[in-house]
Amino acid sequence: MGKRALAAVLAALLLTGCAVRQVPAEKTVFCMDTVMELHVWGKDGQAACGAMEDALLEMDRTWNASSDASALAAFQAGEPVSQEVQDVLARAQALKERTGGAFDPQLYRLTEAWGFFSGDYRVPTPAEIQAALVDPVYDLGGVIKGYAGGKLVALLSEMEVDRAVLNLGGNVQTYGEKPGGEPWQIALQDPRGEGQNLVVSVKGTMAVVTSGDYQRYFELDGVRYHHIMDPWTGYPADAGLASVTVICADGMTADALSTALFVLGLEKGTALWRASEDFEAVFILTDGQVYATQGVALSGGKYQVISH
Ligand code: ADP
Ligand code: MG
């Protein structure tokens, strides 16, 4: 082979090598009542996808509030549970406190009364709502995907993985740096499908978690009843928001805060942000207006900046 041909073959090999390394390993997992998409770059990509699937299915069994076989049900029944389960429940209670009760991990009865577990949607009577509110039963639906994101990050950090992006049913968890230090670009779903194309940029390992009134809801007589409950009224939260996205280094915190800010609304949510230093947020109002706290790198549409 002539020198020139050899060089061409080498160049081709190099190119292929690069191309192979840049294709992520991918996996779709159905769990926690949603579809999850895992994309992992690096030597252990395939193995990491398998390990993450196992971990997700295990977490689904542990935290399923509707299953008598879950560790959560065991805890609720006063049976012994692992230290990890106790720790997560303690963290959930701390997040309830931090949000003044807007995030409440013990609203199982309420969500059940509205039919969101069974899919038999209905508007409960005021008496049923009152009964549900005074019977605290754990449901970690408001944080578990965020918690899962954090747990998967820990798993990835022990493998030969360059970077990953995990879409856990609307909760996005990034891991690692993109080549050249480019930010991850995460498109925010337009709550009303009216052509908003907002994109959040984040660097490194970060949770970008959205709570919205369009993810799970039913309509009756022209009224939309969605799945995020106001713990004070027992009705779906009605604080003028269509969605809230929280950007935070910790997945579980991001998830609890997204649910809480959705309940609190723009004004009280802004007050919580001002009193905090660990998260940023994007609020999309039911009338389409967008507000973002000053640390958010947002593009693709008009918005107002919330400053300190
Ligand atoms: P999603 O699970 O759709 O991503 P959220 O993180 O906001 O959205 O969680 C909503 C889920 O959390 C509900 O389906 C229910 O299981 C539970 N939940 C509803 N209202 C609250 C609340 N005020 N605090 C904590 N959990 C809640
Ligand atoms: Mg949440």
pLDDT tens sequence across 106-140: 999 999 999 999 999 999 999 999 999 999 999 99
DSSP 23: S
Distances (CA, A) of 119 to 72, 218, 244: 21, 10, 24
With beta carbons less than 8 A apart as the criterion, state whether 276 and 175 touch: no
What's the pLDDT at 170? 85
Q: For residue 239, with 0-12 CB atoms within 10 Å meaning exposed, 13-18 middle and 19 or more buried, which class applies?
A: buried
Mean pLDDT calculated for residue range 245-261: 98
What's the pLDDT at 6? 46
Ligand 1 atom index nearest CA of 102: 23
Mean pLDDT calculated for residue range 169-181: 93
Residues 249, 253: Cα–Cα separation, whole Å: 8
What's the pLDDT at 225? 97
Ligand 1 residue neighbourhood (C-beta within 6 Å):
103-105, 107, 111, 116, 139, 141-142, 145, 170, 211, 215-216, 227-229, 231, 255, 258-259, 263
- 25-63, pLDDT tens digit by residue? 999 999 999 999 999 999 999 999 999 999 999 999 999
pLDDT at 210 over 50: yes
Higher pLDDT residue, 6 or 206? 206
What's the pLDDT at 12? 47
Which has the closest alpha carbon to 25: 206, 159, 210?
159
Mean pLDDT calculated for residue range 163-174: 96
**Per-domain boundaries in the chain:** 2-65+82-306
Dihedral (CA of 257, 258, 264, 265) sign:
positive
Torsion on CA atoms 235, 246, 35, 229, rounded to nearest 10: -10
Distances (CA, A) of 114 to 99, 122, 296, 305: 23, 5, 35, 36
The vertex-265 CA angle with 115 and 261, nearest 5°, equals 70
Ligand nearest to the CA of 252: 2
What's the pLDDT at 9? 45
Q: Which residues contact 17 (CB under 8 A, 6 or more apart)?
A: none
Identity at 275, one-letter amino acid code: A
For domain 2-65+82-306, the CATH architecture is: Roll (3.10)
Which has the closest alpha carbon to 283: 211, 187, 203?
211
With beta carbons less than 8 A apart as the criterion, state whether 89 and 117 touch: no
Residue 3 banded pLDDT, cuts 50, 70, 90:
low
Provide, rounded to the nearest whole percent, the portion of the chain with pLDDT above 70: 93
Q: Which residues contact 276 (CB under 8 A, 6 or more apart)?
A: none
98 CA to middle of ligand 2, Å? 14
Q: For residue 280, with 0-12 CB atoms within 10 Å meaning exposed, 13-18 middle and 19 or more buried, which class applies?
A: buried
> What does pLDDT average to over the chain?
94
Residue 4 banded pLDDT, cuts 50, 70, 90:
low
- 272-287, pLDDT tens digit by residue? 999 999 999 999 999 9
